[in-house]
């Protein structure tokens, strides 16, 4: 069946089933190997589809402006199998025109409702909120004008190794928000067992009983005090055999023989091998999915395992099955302190020497174990002007920066504290446009727009000169007030990029200065950029001590590290990387995938040792200590990326690989031995 009517406009009442038929928007044409299949779907009004590869799906054509009359696109879906799938909806302005991408994932064996708010096409947000089994809706591509959109594609974005099969109701355009799904279809029953493990998967190492769980964790606790650094490590996990001058009592950067190092407080060379999220970190988001749980902890015994969201996720509910498992073993009083002893001992056993970002770092500080801290800018006075970029010329921005930096005072004299990350992957950095351009479209008026108008007034004599330079009818007043409508002319981009340099410089330097005032002793580790920074953002980054980036690749590319070093003249630290597989009971592998746990270990060794052999890298921090929940964390990620699973079982292949690399990393970094090079087969990602 090559062409079918499957996209409608509906007028759905609250609580009604989807969809109600109305005006057809057009017909769909098969893309790739998509097949419509026979069989009775478990969702009313749905049809079965299957696809062999990414990119398979449906394409639609309709008169331009059709979607301008709608507020939401929606459909009900159910995915078969046991692994995650991700889809993408692409809206395009004509053939070859601007394209907006909306990507989302879905849990298998449970119904979910797609709710795509069409106002997101203004690119004001990078990510919408997860709802039930509708996971991690992300915005990408270009800003589009719905009055010009005349085509839509619904395609498979990411999938596992097998063909993917799902059923769905017709994709519908609605004039208002559809209700959230309030009743689940669960063809195979609950998705999580009483320990937080997937009921859909079977794998070697699955915990079968409470007795097994208790024996394992109690044994880890009993042996925790016996674990120590190997011979040749300093008391901080540095290289006792190589001194980089006298110790200063704090961590610092140093160069020696053409390569960068960190130096520990005693002056020993230090290469940072870190684990992110050293915390009780296996929260499952359960609101809307309560019937998918075989067991839900109860109050008051399991109070430490249940929580609610904050801010815009205030309606979210969470169950932390790792916490529940610890309470099972240690009881409701004192379990967290015992967990910390077990976790830090396990990290030291694996020869990691840094507790990475988003960790319960207070436990590391108490144990004098090297750690980093994350920073979070709130901007309560200044607000934001484009995604999470603050109004940096607002009168309250510097006071907000001082509030932001103030928590660093609590660790300013701690020698175990390595340094702080200013932020993590700001969402404005995922945009295809510079912040100044995004600001024009998304903020009616702000101090930074007023500064833009003043800056342009200095560059151009007046409105006529600006309009001539930009090849469009505009005024300086329009730069200061009123949201920009329509497309920006290409002639405006150089000016907006140049002003974005000033915006970024003021942003980074103000935060860095405030942090230095609160804590003059520790390293500014930068902002965990996703890849190489654009040149317009570099000037402000020179206030960092280390440039941190999150790099999900087979290796940290030498040319990437070299390019960053040439731009900033500082060392590089990887804040995130990982490899996952589909053989351990999780629906998704993560952002990098290999075949099995043994190959995860090989991939770990290749990445870490190659990074250590490069002259510019001073450490790599793995994301994360624990697997994510099979039901999905706050946004829906459900990756096999841990060194430990939700029942605190260690992945032995990963552990042995990490120990081997960590015990020889200093020899690799010094050039005494070559890096491990026995790479596994790298497979297409199943993450989103």
Interval 136-175: pLDDT, tens? 999 999 999 999 999 999 999 999 999 999 999 999 999 9
Radius of gyration of the chain (CA): 26
pLDDT of the residue at 647: 98
Which pLDDT score, from 0 to 100, does residue 532 have?
A: 84
Q: Which sign, positive or negative, has the C-alpha torsion 164, 169, 170, 173?
A: negative
Q: What percent of the chain has pLDDT over 90?
A: 93
What confidence category does residue 469 fall into, taking pLDDT thresholds of 50, 70 and 90?
very high
Mean pLDDT of 40-51: 96
Share above pLDDT 70 across residues of the chain, in percent, rounded to a whole number:
96
593 domain-assigned: yes
**pLDDT for res 6:** 52
Please check whether residues 274 and 161 belong to one and the same domain: no
| pLDDT tens per residue across span 259-304 | 999 999 999 999 999 999 999 989 999 999 999 999 999 999 999 9
pLDDT, tens digit (0-9, with 9 covering 90-100), for 652-667: 999 999 999 999 999 9
- Say whether pLDDT at 9 is over 60: no
CA distances in angstroms from 381 to 378, 487, 514, 531, listed in the order given: 9, 31, 16, 31
Return d(Cα 12, Cα 596) in angstroms, integer. 46
Q: What would the two tokens of residue 373 be?
A: 């801290």
Tokens describing residue 551: 């790099």
pLDDT higher than threshold 50 for residue 18: no
**pLDDT category, 7, cuts 50, 70, 90?**
low
Say yes or no to pLDDT of 313 above 90. no
Q: What is the DSSP string of 562-574?
A: HHHHHHH-S-EEE
Distance CA 470, CA 491 (A): 5
The answer to whether residues 127 and 57 belong to one domain is yes
pLDDT, mean of residues 374-391: 97
Same domain, 170 and 65: yes
> 687 with 580: CB under 8 angstroms?
yes
Q: Tell me if 103 is assigned to some domain.
A: yes
pLDDT of residue 21 exceeding 50: no
Q: Tell me whether residue 656 is in a domain.
A: yes
pLDDT of residue 560: 92
For range 91-117, the mean pLDDT? 97
In this predicted structure, what is the pLDDT of residue 22?
Answer: 37
Here the tokens at position 654 are 């990963």
Average pLDDT over every residue of 469-496: 95
Question: Is the confidence at residue 591, as pLDDT, over 60?
Answer: yes
Omega before residue 480 within 30° of 0, cis: no
| Structural domain includes residue 477 | no
| Ranges 7-21, 120-134, 527-541, 641-655: which has the least confidence | 7-21
What's the whole-number average pLDDT of the chain?
Answer: 94
Cα separation, 571 vs 544, in Å, equals 10
Of the candidates 117, 151, 174, which is a domain's last residue? 174
3-state secondary structure of 141: strand
* Domain termination site, one of 148, 174, 200: 174
Burial (CB < 10 A; 0-12, 13-18, 19+), residue 78, is: buried
Is residue 15 pLDDT above 70, yes or no?
Answer: no
In this predicted structure, what is the pLDDT of residue 11? 39
How many structural domains is the chain composed of?
Answer: 2
Domain match, 303 and 413 both: yes
The answer to whether residue 179 sits within a structural domain is no
Same domain, 127 and 256: no
Instruction: Note the residue count of the chain.
Output: 688
Q: Do 160 and 49 fall into the same domain? A: yes
Which pLDDT score is estimated for 257?
87
What pLDDT digit, counting tens, does each position of 324-354 carry?
999 999 999 999 999 999 999 999 999 999 9
287 and 151 inside one domain: no
Q: What DSSP string runs through 363-386?
A: HHHHTT--EEEE-----TTT-EEE
Picking from 608, 561, 590, 594, the residue whose alpha carbon sits closest to that of residue 683 is 594
Q: Which one has a higher pLDDT value, 11 or 593?
A: 593
Please compute the mean of the pLDDT values over residues 21-32 and round it to a whole number. 71
Look at residue 458 and tell me if it is in a domain: no
Strands 384-386 and 389-390: antiparallel
pLDDT value of residue 8: 55
Per-residue model confidence (pLDDT) at position 348: 97
Domain of 275, CATH number, reads 3.20.20.80
pLDDT in tens, 555-586: 999 999 999 999 999 999 999 999 999 999 99
Regarding whether 257 and 163 lie in a shared domain, the answer is no
Residue 198 maps to a domain: no
Q: What is the separation, in whole angstroms, between the first and last Cα of the chain? A: 30
277: left (phi > 0), else alpha (psi -120 to 50), else beta?
Answer: left
* pLDDT score of 25: 59
The reported pLDDT for the residue numbered 662 is: 98
Domain containing residue 35: CATH number: 2.60.120.430
Last residue of a domain, one of 139, 174, 209: 174
DSSP conformation letters of 459-504: HSSSHHHHHHHHTS---HHHHHSS---SPPPGGGHHHHHHHHHHHH
Strands 272-275 and 617-622, by their bridges, are parallel
Please name the residue that has the structure tokens 């540095």.
Answer: 238
Q: Are residues 397 and 535 in the same domain?
A: yes
Residue range 609-650, pLDDT digits in tens:
999 999 999 999 999 999 999 999 999 999 999 999 999 999
Output the pLDDT for position 542: 95
Statement to judge: residues 151 and 252 lie in one domain: no
Owning domain of residue 357: 222-428+501-683
Instruction: Answer yes or no: is 328 within a domain.
Output: yes
Tell me how far CA of residue 70 lies from CA of 102, 117, 221, 408, 459, in angstroms: 16, 9, 57, 48, 42
pLDDT at 670: 97
What pLDDT shows up at residue 688?
82
What's the average model confidence in pLDDT over 239-244? 97
155, 250: one domain: no
How many CA atoms lie within 13 Å of 320's alpha carbon, on the beta-carbon side? Answer: 19
For residues 237 and 166, membership in a common domain is answered with no
pLDDT tens column, 407-423: 999 999 999 999 999 99
Chain segment 481-490, per-residue pLDDT in tens: 999 998 999 9
């Amino acid at each position: 069946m090559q062409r079918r009517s499957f996209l409608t406009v509906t007028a759905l009442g609250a609580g009604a089933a989807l969809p109600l038929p109305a005006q057809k928007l057009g017909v769909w044409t098969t893309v790739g190997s998509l097949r419509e299949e026979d069989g009775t779907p478990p969702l009313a009004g749905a049809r079965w589809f299957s696809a062999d590869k990414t990119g398979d799906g449906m394409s639609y054509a309709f008169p331009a402006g059709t979607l301008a009359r709608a507020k939401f696109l929606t459909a009900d879906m159910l995915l078969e199998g046991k692994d995650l799938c991700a889809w993408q909806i692409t809206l395009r302005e004509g053939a070859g025109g601007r394209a907006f991408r909306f990507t989302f994932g879905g849990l298998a064996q449970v119904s979910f409702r797609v709710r795509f708010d069409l106002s997101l096409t203004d690119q004001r947000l990078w990510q919408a909120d997860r709802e039930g089994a509708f996971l991690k809706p992300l915005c990408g591509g270009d800003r589009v004008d719905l009055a010009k959109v005349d085509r839509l594609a619904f395609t498979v974005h990411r999938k596992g190794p097998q063909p993917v099969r799902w059923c769905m109701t017709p994709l519908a355009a609605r004039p208002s928000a559809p209700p959230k799904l309030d009743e689940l279809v669960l063809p195979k029953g609950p998705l999580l067992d009483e320990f937080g493990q997937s009921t859909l998967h079977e794998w070697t190492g699955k915990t079968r009983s409470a007795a097994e769980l208790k024996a394992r964790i109690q044994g880890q606790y009993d042996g925790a005090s016996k674990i120590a650094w190997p011979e040749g490590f300093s008391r901080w996990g540095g290289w006792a055999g190589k001194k980089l001058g006298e110790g200063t009592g704090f961590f610092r950067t140093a160069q020696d023989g053409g390569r960068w190092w960190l130096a520990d407080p005693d002056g020993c060379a230090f290469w940072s091998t870190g684990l992110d999220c050293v915390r009780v970190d296996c929260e499952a988001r359960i609101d809307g999915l309560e019937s998918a749980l075989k067991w839900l902890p109860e109050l008051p015994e399991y109070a430490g395992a249940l929580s609610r969201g904050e801010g815009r996720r205030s309606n979210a509910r969470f169950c932390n099955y790792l916490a529940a498992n610890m309470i099972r073993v240690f009881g409701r009083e004192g379990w967290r302190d015992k967990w910390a002893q077990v976790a830090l001992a396990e990290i030291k056993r694996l020869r990691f020497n840094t507790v990475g970002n988003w960790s319960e770092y207070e436990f590391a500080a108490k144990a004098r174990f090297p750690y980093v801290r994350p920073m979070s800018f709130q901007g309560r006075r200044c607000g934001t002007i484009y995604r999470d970029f603050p109004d940096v010329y607002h009168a309250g921005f510097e006071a907000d920066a001082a509030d932001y930096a103030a928590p660093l005072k609590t660790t300013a004299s701690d020698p175990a504290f390595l340094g702080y990350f200013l932020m993590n992957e700001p969402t404005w950095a995922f945009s295809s446009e510079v912040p100044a351009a995004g600001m024009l479209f998304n903020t009616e008026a702000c101090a930074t727009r007023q500064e833009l108008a003043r800056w342009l007034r200095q560059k151009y004599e007046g409105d006529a000169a600006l309009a001539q330079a930009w090849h469009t009818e505009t005024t300086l007043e329009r730069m200061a007030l009123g949201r920009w409508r329509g497309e920006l002319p290409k002639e405006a981009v150089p000016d907006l990029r140049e002003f974005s340099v000033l915006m970024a410089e003021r942003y980074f330097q103000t935060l860095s200065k405030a942090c230095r005032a609160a804590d003059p002793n520790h390293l500014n580790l930068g902002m965990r950029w996703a890849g190489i920074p654009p040149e317009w953002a570099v000037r402000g980054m020179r206030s960092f001590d280390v440039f941190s980036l999150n790099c999900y690749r087979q290796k940290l590319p030498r040319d990437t590290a070299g390019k960053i070093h040439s731009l900033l003249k500082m060392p590089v630290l990887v804040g995130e990387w990982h490899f996952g597989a589909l053989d351990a009971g999780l629906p998704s592998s993560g952002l990098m995938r290999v075949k099995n746990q043994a190959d995860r270990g090989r991939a770990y060794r290749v990445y870490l040792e190659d990074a250590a052999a490069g002259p510019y890298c001073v450490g790599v921090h793995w994301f994360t200590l624990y697997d994510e929940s099979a039901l999905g964390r706050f946004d829906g990620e459900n990756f096999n990326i841990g060194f430990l699973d939700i029942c605190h079982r260690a992945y032995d292949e990963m552990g042995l690989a990490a120990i081997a690399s960590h015990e020889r990393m200093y020899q690799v970094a010094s050039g005494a031995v070559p890096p491990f090079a026995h790479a596994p087969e790298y497979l297409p990602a199943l993450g989103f």
